[in-house]
Amino acid sequence: MSTETLLFPTILAWVLTGVLMVGVAVLVTFQRRTIAALRRHGAQLEQQLQERAAQAERDLAERHQALESLRESEEKYRTLAEFTYDWEYWIDPDGRYVYVSPACERITGYRPEEFIANPDLLLTLVHPEDRDRVAAHHFGDRKPHEILDFRLITRNGKQIWIGHVCQAVHGCDGRYLGQRGSNRDITARKQAETALRISEERYRQIVETAHEGIWAVDAEQRTTFVNWRMMDLLGYAPEEMFGQRFESFLFAEDLDAHRAQRERRFQGENSVYERRFRRKDGQTLWTAVSAVALRDVDGQVIGSFAMLADITDRKRAEEALRESETLLRDVLDSLTAHIAVLDAHGTLLLVNNAWRRFAEQNGGADRLVGVGTNYLTACQSAIDQGDTLAQAALQGIRAVMGSEQPVFGLEYPCHAPTESRWFAMRVHALSGIRPGVVIAHEDITERRRAEKALRSALKERETLLREVHHRVKNNLAAIIGLLDLQRDALDDASLAAALDELAGRIRSMALVHEMLYQSGPLNRIEFQDYLQALLGHLQGIFDLRGAVRIELAAFGVWMNLDTAIPCGLIITELVSNAFKYAFLKERSGAGPDDRLVKVSVLQDDEVHYTVTVADNGVGLPADLDWTTTPSLGLRLVRMLGQHQLGGTLELDRTTGTCFSLRFTTQPRDRSVEP
């Protein structure tokens, strides 16, 4: 074996040993480095662990503090929610209550647990008229913030108003978490709003319907408000007044007084005064003004407010009263009667010139019978001196003052040394609310003399009238006698009958004059007595056997000469026709004892008369037109009734014949009666 062969393994071993030693050295070096690195990393890790542990301890302490703060916050907000006055709640996205505050029981009478157990309880409590609106709000689109007022019925049945506000709740990621809401009992507020609305409406109605005008102006006297009444009083439209200066509606001569009044108002003086305005048509409007100054919170004047009452009519009445008083004074002073006005105590308030002159001329004095003195005391003084007429006058005055009688009159002599004088005293109660009387003394001496002369003349006139009626009656009787003589000389029966009818007509006129001659009044007769005599005469001519019964009704009827004569002639013709023609043959169903003629005269008042003549006989022929028949009797009835008396004639043929005459006369002139 060669040396080379033996050296190769040795060298190889040495190489491998070297390599091994190098590897071990490298490995040791790497291990040392690794250990050093691990030590460094371990130290860093230990430091990091220590830092993380410290951070964890800090985090844990902060979390604990946060949890404690959260708990305290939740407790605080729960306490706040539990004791809040409003009814708070929270519902989840499914509509279930998560939280309901205890205030719900105070407001509705239902506990929170009842709302949580029954999510629909709220809707069942809502007033039926509001339920759809609340449901649409509750289940509609979710809005960030919503407000709603609605009515709700509480457990005890009371209706209340709820003010509701709610908003959607979202998480940080925008996820919908539910709805938070708050309900408040706003019944008192609603009632206050209703009361305010009613009050405002009443105020508006008062302002708009007030009988007074209402006017407001600003600090510059520009119109800011007028009601319709004020515009109506002045005759302007709204646009013609708003913004216009107050003074533009005044008369130029009243501006100074207005400005002075305004300054006093600004100084705090409030008063009622009169002011006139110029209407749009130029007429004057008088008003009673009650105005106040309007001030701001600092007391500065910012305008004026006034209420104005229309007193134009009152002003006109006052002016008319002044004119009337002046006129009354002038009228009283122009009268010759001595006139005085007394109050309820007898004090003289007013006397005219004639009163004063008479007092002066007859020794009187103002201190006795002048204004301010007591007239009753003066009368009593005269009574004390033995004047019996003064006693009667005093009693009469007191009777009128005491409303025992409305008027008192007394005529008394007041003779002067040179002549006889008569006076008439009349006492009238004052009309109106002021008690008192008016006394007038008038010289009636001339009237007394005239009355005396008139009585003599009337007596002479009465004598002459009676003589005239007597002579007329005698003349008519003479004519009747001549007609009777002529009738007896005639052989023609028809002519004799005509003369009889003519004599009957004249006799009806003569009877009027006979009754006027025999009665008290000379210008009118009592018609019942006249007709009784007239009908008796006619029955004596046409019904000697008394086969026809006559009924007369004219009690209380009086007629003057101009009315009595034509009425007597008409009744004479109609009754004569009834005697002559109504009972020539018996009416079917009637016996001989049923023959009847009725005469009635009605006087509705002093001037309206109705004369009726009726019989139950056979009636006029059916083919007879009484309005055109040439019969003298009916022609005379038509002429006297329709033309002379101006009346209306009617014929009723129902049962027999019935003529009715209605007419009106002129009122009787009583001044000429004796």
Q: What is the pLDDT of residues 525-544, one digit of tens each?
A: 787 887 888 788 778 777 76
Report pLDDT digits (tens) over 11-41. 666 666 766 676 667 666 767 777 777 777 7
How is domain 84-193 classified at the architecture level of CATH?
A: 2-Layer Sandwich (3.30)
Q: What is the pLDDT of residue 674?
A: 44
Question: Any idea which fold 335-443 has?
Answer: Beta-Lactamase (3.30.450)
524 Cβ contact list (under 8 Å, min separation 6) = 558, 559, 560, 561, 564, 668
Q: Would you state the structure tokens that stand for residue 507, as one six-digit string?
A: 């006799």
Q: Would you state the structure tokens that stand for residue 171, as one six-digit string?
A: 């998480």
Q: Is the dihedral of CA 257, 260, 265, 270 positive or negative?
A: negative
Distance between CA atoms of residues 672 and 674, nearest Å:
6
Q: What is the pLDDT of residue 145?
A: 67
Residue 263 reports pLDDT greater than 80: yes
In which band, very low, low, confident or very high, does the pLDDT at 69 lie, cut at 50, 70 and 90?
low
Residue 462 reports pLDDT greater than 60: no
Q: Does 210-316 carry CATH code 3.30.70.270?
A: no
Q: What is the pLDDT of residue 312?
A: 92
Report pLDDT digits (tens) over 413-439. 887 777 788 889 999 988 766 789 999
Residue 484 reports pLDDT greater than 70: no
In which band, very low, low, confident or very high, does the pLDDT at 475 lie, cut at 50, 70 and 90?
low
Q: What is the pLDDT of residue 3?
A: 56
Q: What is the pLDDT of residue 302?
A: 92
Q: 527-674: CATH homologous superfamily? A: Histidine kinase-like ATPase, C-terminal domain (3.30.565.10)
Q: Helix H segments across 84-227? A: 103-108, 112-117, 121-125, 128-139, 187-209
More confident residue, 482 or 415: 415
Concatenating the DSSP letter of every residue in 382-425 gives HHHTT-HHHHHHHHHHHHHHTTS-SEEEEEEE---SSS--EEEE
Asked whether the domain spanning 210-316 has the same topology as the one spanning 84-193, the reply is yes
Residue 376 reports pLDDT greater than 70: yes
416 Cβ contact list (under 8 Å, min separation 6) = none
Residue 558 and residue 567 in contact, taking contact as beta carbons nearer than 8 Å:
no
Concatenating the DSSP letter of every residue in 495-521 gives HHHHHHHHHHHHHHHHHHHHHHHHSS-
Please give the mean pLDDT across all residues of the chain.
Answer: 80
pTM: 0.38
What is the H or E stretch that residue 251 is in?
Answer: none
Q: Would you state the structure tokens that stand for residue 9, as one six-digit string?
A: 């393994």
Domain boundaries along the sequence of the chain: 84-193, 210-316, 335-443, 527-674
